[in-house]
Structure 1
Amino acid sequence: MSRLIIISNRVSRPSKTGNQGGLAVALSQALRESRGIWVGWSGEVTDNFTGHIGFAEYDGVKTATIDLEEQDVDEYYNGYANKTLWPLFHFRIDLAEYARDFEGGYNRVNKRFAETASPLIEPDDIIWVHDYHMIPLGQMLRDRGLKNRMGFFLHIPWPPTRLLVSLPHHTKLVSSLFAYDVVGFHTEEWLESFRHYVEKEMGGKVDGDFVTVGDRTIQAIACPIGINAQEFADAAVSEAANDMHAQVRASLQDRSLIVGVDRLDYSKGLEERFNGFSRFLKDHPEHHRQVVLTQIAPPSRGEVESYQQIRATLDSLAGRINGEYSDVDWTPIRYVNQGYPRDKLAGIYRAARIGLVTPLRDGMNLVAKEYVAAQDPEDPGVLVLSRFAGAAIQLRDALLINPYSSEEMSDAINRALAMPLDERKRRWRAMMNSVEQQDISWWRQTFTDRLTAAERPEEVADDAATVEPGAGAPAAG
């Protein structure tokens, strides 16, 4: 059996507390089954990069990590990954920063990952590279003579061509994806945007799942990620979840809970969510003192200025809304800047009458699926979901809204609070069926089956996987 080599920006080691995320759990399971290795950044900073690999093994999962220099973190992670690609791929071209140092650091760190991983890879290994931090890694591995089957999965949206062409050297970046054998996206929309770019900017051809530019053909597929639905449903009735559920319900004093759980990020639409809830309080004074919005938003990427700004904005908004509507024994918004273990989160989800998941743009959004899985089948809550989240394609029985419209959000909250039990059950059951059928194991197996079945290159010349800009049509960038 071929080993699976997973390469990602960060490595999630198995935890004795069992608080790994669903993606980490699924990938760890695949690594155990194949005797594979997870390669990535340790999260630590070193004065001078030496290429030293830190090996570890826990619960059958082997990891190999490297430390990066502070300059690497500034240019590769905080810079190109999170100041350039992240905003651009989330349609926020106004926030994207383009700097040669960022791009140089991004390529330098990817080369360091290639140099680290190459000696660990055996000829029959299958390589699975993850996310926007590592787009050019496959090409760099090919440059080192690797002929292995190699796949890439993008966990964030793929932007429309009209936005992507604003990226300097965009064609070079996209061309590097043709070093892989299978490239995966969460939704048909992101896949179609990729195909459109390849056809219009690179003169490529699309034939079903096969995309060809020059002499290189890859499979490009839509493969939506899921969660471990049964595990999360079980977590929602665990002792820790029940204790959290009881604590939350006691604090509410019979009020209805609306919950949002998001990393503190401008793509999550938190400012728009607060404004939508404020509009609801204005439109429906009969619900004053009857509802509480609890927004859990752990800080992230604090070194990036745009993240500092969103935190300051939300602090101000929460204060203003609470100042306008609070009473001596009621505060409408509970704004919490800390995270919780998954079992406690499951208890909070289960206590909530409404799950408010309203990103402005999201590759998938697993919080929406976790909220569904955590519900009591006999008295489920209602999911209010942005139509711009990848999850909206599967969870069509949520109340789908435009998160930019405070009126739509206000109407949806009011409708959810008034929704009769029979309708809540019907909607929940339909969504739960989707969450159970296309779960995390389905996603992992679907992608790796495609990758395993892909033809292994018999011979890869130094430039065989390199697609020259302009192959078939003029290309900018």
Structure 2
Amino acid sequence: MSRLVVVSNRVSDPRKSAGAGGLAVALGEALSANGGLWFGWSGTIVEGGTPGEGEMHTHHSGNVTLTTVDLCREDHDSYYLGYSNGVLWPVFHYRLDLADFDAGYIGGYRRVNQLMARKLMPLLKPDDIIWVHDYHLIPMAAELRAMGCKNRIGFFLHIPLPPPLILAAVPQHEWLIRSLFAYDLIGFQAQSDVEHFSSYVGKEVGAEALDKHQFRAFGRKVQAQAFPIGIDVDEFAALTHAKEGRDMYERMKKEFSRRRLLLGVERLDYSKGLPQRVRSFRELLKNYPENIRSATLIQIASPSREALDTYAGLRQELESLCGAINGDYGELDWMPVRYIHRNVSRKRLPGLYRVADVALVTPLRDGMNLVAKEFIAAQDPADPGVLVLSRFAGAAEQLKEALLVNPYDVHGTAESIQLALQMPLIERQRRHQQLLERIRSQDVHWWRKTYLDALAACDPE
């Protein structure tokens, strides 16, 4: 059986994934099932190091080999902060106004991808299947091909792909998309992303559509398809009943026995729609005063990319909004908003999900959003909570029984929250059952197998 080689910006030990994000957990699942090599940046920044160079480290975790490369400060700042998160992240989330189109960043981005390919190439075996992940490493296959790599190479984009006119705002956007044609299979989270890719390559580079999933351009054929990522439903449900999850549930159930709990959990990021969500909650209290002293919003916004000015400004805005609501509506024995700016252990989150009456998953744009699926998995089927989900999350294509909202419409979102709080038990049970069946049928194991089967079936060129 061919060895699986996963390449991603960061590498996580599959045995220590309790606090990891959705991508790390999903990749850990894939490698633990198949065995293989996980390759990426070590997370170490070497001050004064030489650009384009980095020390390599290797250790083993069960049947998985973990190999990482250090980056110097100049490479890190141009590749990671500059191009990946200062250009690609905002543009791919439709925020051209926040992109920093500094032409110098792309040189560092290309240099780090060349470095990673150069370090990886000697580690590869002829029959390895290579699976590259996310926007940090779009040119990885092109760099490997230039070094003579003939292996099957797949790519999975975990964030959205924007429409052609937005994508075209990226300097050297044609080079970026040309790099994707070095892969055999491109995986996207949602069908809308596939449509955006198809439209771009047809209009901008004149690609030939061989069928609805296959395109030829630049002398190569590539397959593009949606593979919505899932979670391990049974594993997450087990965490709900494990000690830490159960303790969290009991403690929160007791503390908020007289309240209705609304819950938001995500990184502090402008793509998540946090200010709009808090304004919707304020609108709820204003328009439906029966929720005053009754409903509490717990908003967890874990730290993220705090070195970037945009994120510092977002934190100040969110803290100001939460403080204003608590000042205007709060009582000595009730605060409308509990805002938490720190990480919460993944082992404790299921208990928090389970106690919530309503989950607010309302990003302005998101590739998938696994919080929505985790909330469903953690619910008590006899008395489930209600998922309020942005129509602009990739998960909305699958989770149609959620209450779908436009997060830009503060009034409309408040109306949907009120509907969720008033939803009869029988309807909550019906919606939850259908949602649970969907996330079980398309879980992380389905995602891994479906993608890797499709990659193995590709005809290498």
Structures share fold, TM-score greater than 0.5: yes
Residue number in structure 1 paired with 2:145: 142
Residue number in structure 1 paired with 2:73: 70
SS in 1 for 2:231: coil
Residue number in structure 2 paired with 1:2: 2
Distance of 2:265 and 2:33 partners within structure 1: 32
Amino acid at match of 2:207: G
Runs of at least 4 residues off by over 2 Å: 14-35, 49-52
Match of 1:342 among 340, 343, 346: 346
Residue number in structure 1 paired with 2:113: 110
Residue number in structure 2 paired with 1:119: 122
Cα distance, 1:157 vs. partner?
A: 0.4
Amino acid at match of 2:262: I
> For the Cα contact (< 8 Å) 1:28–1:61, is it kept in 2?
no
Residues 293-312 of structure 1: pairs in structure 2 closer than 5 A: 293-312=297-316
> For the Cα contact (< 8 Å) 2:236–2:350, is it kept in 1?
yes
Distance of 1:165 and 1:35 partners within structure 2: 39
Cα distance, 1:26 vs. partner?
A: 3.8
Distance of 1:259 and 1:26 partners within structure 2: 23
Residues 58-457 of structure 1: pairs in structure 2 closer than 5 A: 58-206=61-209, 207-457=211-461
> For the Cα contact (< 8 Å) 2:181–2:218, is it kept in 1?
no
> For the Cα contact (< 8 Å) 1:362–1:388, is it kept in 2?
yes
Sequence identity (%): 49
Cα distance, 1:20 vs. partner?
A: 4.0
- The CA deviation string for residues 429-474 of structure 1, in whole angstroms up to 9 with x for no partner, is 11111110000110111110011111233xxxxxxxxxxxxxxxxx
Cα distance, 1:16 vs. partner?
A: 4.6
Report the TM-score when normalising by structure 1. 0.94
Cα distance, 1:262 vs. partner?
A: 0.8
SS in 2 for 1:384: strand
SS in 1 for 2:348: helix
Amino acid at match of 2:115: R
> For the Cα contact (< 8 Å) 2:9–2:40, is it kept in 1?
yes
Shift of the 184–17 alpha-carbon distance from structure 1 to 2, 3 Å rule, reads closer
Shift of the 18–94 alpha-carbon distance from structure 1 to 2, 3 Å rule, reads closer
> For the Cα contact (< 8 Å) 1:45–1:70, is it kept in 2?
yes
CA RMSD in angstroms, aligned pairs only: 1.2
SS in 1 for 2:223: strand
> For the Cα contact (< 8 Å) 2:36–2:63, is it kept in 1?
no
> For the Cα contact (< 8 Å) 1:22–1:440, is it kept in 2?
no
Amino acid at match of 2:83: Y
Cα distance, 1:21 vs. partner?
A: 4.2
Shift of the 267–22 alpha-carbon distance from structure 1 to 2, 3 Å rule, reads closer
Cα distance, 1:137 vs. partner?
A: 0.8
- Please say which of residues 271-280 and 25-34 is displaced more in the overlay: 25-34
Cα distance, 1:29 vs. partner?
A: 3.8
Distance of 1:17 and 1:107 partners within structure 2: 30
If asked which structure has higher relative contact order (CA below 8 Å, sep 6+), I would say 1
Report the TM-score when normalising by structure 2. 0.97
> For the Cα contact (< 8 Å) 1:2–1:34, is it kept in 2?
no
Residue number in structure 1 paired with 2:45: 45
SS in 1 for 2:155: strand
Shift of the 214–23 alpha-carbon distance from structure 1 to 2, 3 Å rule, reads closer
Cα distance, 1:14 vs. partner?
A: 2.4
Amino acid at match of 2:156: F
> For the Cα contact (< 8 Å) 1:13–1:63, is it kept in 2?
yes
- Please say which of residues 236-245 and 383-392 is displaced more in the overlay: 236-245
Distance of 1:208 and 1:343 partners within structure 2: 41
Amino acid at match of 1:8: S
> For the Cα contact (< 8 Å) 1:14–1:20, is it kept in 2?
no
Amino acid at match of 1:261: V
Q: Could you tell me which runs of 5 or more consecutive residues in structure 1 were left unpaired when the two chains were aligned.
A: 458-477
Shift of the 397–33 alpha-carbon distance from structure 1 to 2, 3 Å rule, reads closer
Cα distance, 1:215 vs. partner?
A: 2.5
Q: Could you tell me which runs of 5 or more consecutive residues in structure 2 were left unpaired when the two chains were aligned.
A: none
Distance of 1:32 and 1:93 partners within structure 2: 38
SS in 1 for 2:252: helix
Cα distance, 1:234 vs. partner?
A: 1.4
SS in 2 for 1:262: strand
Distance of 1:59 and 1:295 partners within structure 2: 37
- Please say which of residues 134-143 and 335-344 is displaced more in the overlay: 335-344
